[in-house]
Structure 1
Amino acid sequence: MDKIETNRLILRPFRDEDAPGMLAYLSQPRVNCFLDDQISTLEEAVAKVQKRKADHSYMAVCLKESQLIIGELFYLKDEPDTYSIGWNFHASYEGKGYARESAEALLSYLFVNQGARRLYAYVEDDNDRSQTLCERLGMRKEGFFLEFVSFTTNEDGTLKYENTYQYALLKKEWEQYHSK
């Protein structure tokens, strides 16, 4: 993927200079599913940027005006034409429409340029912001998985399992949603 521009944002591959911005949003994960990505030093951010640069399923989300990285989008292909999607943004940029603006561009890219037929996202039941984003993107709740996956432990050391929604969107639904 090259670069995608929206009104206020640029979606692009990661660059070396993204490490400080990445540290800002990966140092304090807002939801448990990103605990594995948690970093605490600039050195760790530099290493993580190198991994993201080599993995084309991740896109840096930057403010167009300043080039400041504020988060990331990611997608994973399930053959032959289905993609899992997700996002992670710095808390300071919540509530400004950046996640929606960038996710809409990602959906368009996957449906139009990558030939996606179906997209889906997993969202923990306590992640209200991502649930709302999925719904605003035209995605529908497709399932609810009790104690689906574990990212952390309880105070007693036992695994803490997350209840998780699955949202999905077909290309024909996306086309209908965007023709309104």
Structure 2
Amino acid sequence: MEHFETERLILKPADQEDAAFFLQLYNMPKFIRFIGDRNLRTIEDVAHYIQNRFRPQFDKLGFGNYVVMLRENQEKIGAVGIFEREGLDVMDIGFSFLEAYQGKGYAYESASYLKSIIKQKYGVQRISAITSKDNYASQTLIVKLGLTFRKFLTLPNETEELRYYESD
């Protein structure tokens, strides 16, 4: 699977070797608050999640969830992906970064690059994004990525009403 590079970052397809990183990322208080509790408490839980949630989309579409690393030292700092999501008709872009790396432009750099690659290489013309109503930092980034708020929605088997954005 293909890696991508920006000026400061490497985007590599998420795989089993990233289980410890995702365990840390997905259990951050802000991740649980704004994105949701995935109930991943062990390396084995995360390895299973990667195998059953991330890998099938790579196999089917050729793209999915990427670990974002600093080019200078290959430190894992976050994740960005474009996903098929139940309840959405348009591919969904998502991102999450360790707190020490938030507010430094890494999310925009990686998400905007991935958005352009997916459009050029895979022909995905429209993307969407969802976020909780009080996740203002993500809302700002989503708008900066060129998406526009369209409506409120609730995903299947969920109760929280989310903000839905879509590219033009």
Shift of 1:149: 4.4
1:126 matches 2:128: no
Could you say which residue in structure 2 is the equivalent of 1:42?
43
Q: Distance in 1 between matches of 2:148 and 2:26?
A: 28
> Residue 70 of structure 2 contacts residue 77 of structure 2 at CA under 8 Å; is this kept in 1?
yes
Could you say which residue in structure 2 is the equivalent of 1:64?
71
Deviations 1:127-162 (A, max 9, x none): 1111011111121111233xx24888xxxxxxxx32
Equivalent in 157, 164, 167 of residue 166 of structure 1? 164
Say which one has the larger Rg. 1
> Residue 39 of structure 1 contacts residue 45 of structure 1 at CA under 8 Å; is this kept in 2?
yes
> Residue 34 of structure 2 contacts residue 135 of structure 2 at CA under 8 Å; is this kept in 1?
no
Deviations 1:53-89 (A, max 9, x none): 45422212112222222222222358xx942221222
Q: Secondary structure at the match of 1:162?
A: coil
Cα-Cα RMSD? 2.5
Q: Which runs of 4+ in 1 moved over 6 A?
A: none
Q: Distance in 2 between matches of 1:38 and 1:94?
A: 23
1:144/1:47 Cα in 2 relative to 1: closer, same or farther (>3 Å)?
A: closer
What letter is aligned with 1:46? A
Shift of 1:15: 3.5
Question: Pairwise mapping of residues 132-171 of structure 1 onto structure 2 (< 5 A)?
Answer: 132-145=140-153, 148-149=154-155, 161-170=159-168
> Residue 19 of structure 1 contacts residue 46 of structure 1 at CA under 8 Å; is this kept in 2?
yes
TM-score when scaled to structure 1? Answer: 0.74
Could you say which residue in structure 2 is the equivalent of 1:103?
111
User: Please, which runs of 5 or more residues in structure 1 have no aligned partner?
Assistant: 153-160, 171-180
TM-score when scaled to structure 2? Answer: 0.79
Identity %: 32
